[in-house]
Structure 1
Amino acid sequence: MKQRTLAVVSAGLSQPSSTRLLADQLTAATRDGLDKLGVRLDIEVIELRDHAHDVVNHTLTGFPSASLKRAIDAVAGAAGLIAVTPIFNASYSGLFKSFFDVLPDRALTGRPVLLGATGGTARHSLALEHAVRPMFTYLRSVVVPTSVFAATDDWAADSAEGELRGRINRAGRELAEEMERREPVAPADPFALSATFEELLSNE
């Protein structure tokens, strides 16, 4: 039986978070799709709010903390990625962008990615296509056709089990199919992921 690892990046800032809720539902849909394809799945969830200070420090120093390094390694080594961001001012959040800025070059090349976003109103939905998708295309990811935006009103009972649910299921199925048919891609530059600042100091 094939086995794949899925990294799930949620950039929600509050607890509980609608961004994390959407990420969890996309994860469940992807897991169901892989189950039907006979693929076992390991899941690594990364809450970016837990790494916010470390992301800033890494941006300034060029070295990740031990916990941020584990998150980076999980994303760079996964067979697939779900990335969900809240939308602020018609684009992804600063924390979301900053995390992907500190990934090693080519870390996401050839990686199947499912994109999701949340926002207060449906007028933010186009941000997925004019801001988030272009970023991952630039990173040479394989972005699945269906992305999922959930506005506040979409979580009402009828919407959540109607159009939103159908879109989540379709997106999860698309990611599952990409992950099943592609052999996992090794990180392009494993040495860039191998040492934290503390580890380098200990080797002096």
Structure 2
Amino acid sequence: MTIELTPLQGLVLLTPAIFKDDRGYFFESFNQNKFNTLTGTSINFVQDNQSYSVKGALRGLHFQRGEHAQAKLVRVLKGEVLDVAVDIRPGSPTYGQHFKQILSESNHLQMFIPRGFAHGFSVLSDEAVFFYKCDNFYNKASEGGLHYADPALAIDWGMPHDQLIVSEKDAVLPYLANIEG
């Protein structure tokens, strides 16, 4: 497994070593010791989540507040998504900046998103199965989010906004200027 740093401190891309032969391929998708060594963290993941979405679905931008904040390790099992993380750490030199990366079943990339980031993705393929590990349990009272079309973020989701399928809940999320830490 190799690591690639991004412009946002702590947010990294991980590429597994893939072993291919006539039967297909094999790779180790997660190893706690290797992950902690590569990222310089001591993360203990406690919850795995999986979602299925159709083309144009946009999920996000979501985060958990306070003691329920979550770090996530995300990847795509089927299809292709544009994955986006926004730095919302107060005092961060990259506050309000985002990083995006295509994650797919063919590139096998994983993105590690530390606590203090909002996260979301749009589905670029006909369908996608998205998988993520979290280092803290979900807590409904601590959930928060950012509006996907916030002009201050200027995120290009990989398709026109009129083709995005957004939940009612996500469509009314606040802009960055209005979120509470």
Task: Establish whether TM, by shorter chain, passes 0.5.
Answer: no
- Mark the structure with the bigger radius of gyration: 1
TM interval, shorter chain, is under 0.3
TM-score normalised per structure 1: 0.25
- Bigger share in helix: 1
- Bigger share in strand: 2
TM-score normalised per structure 2: 0.27
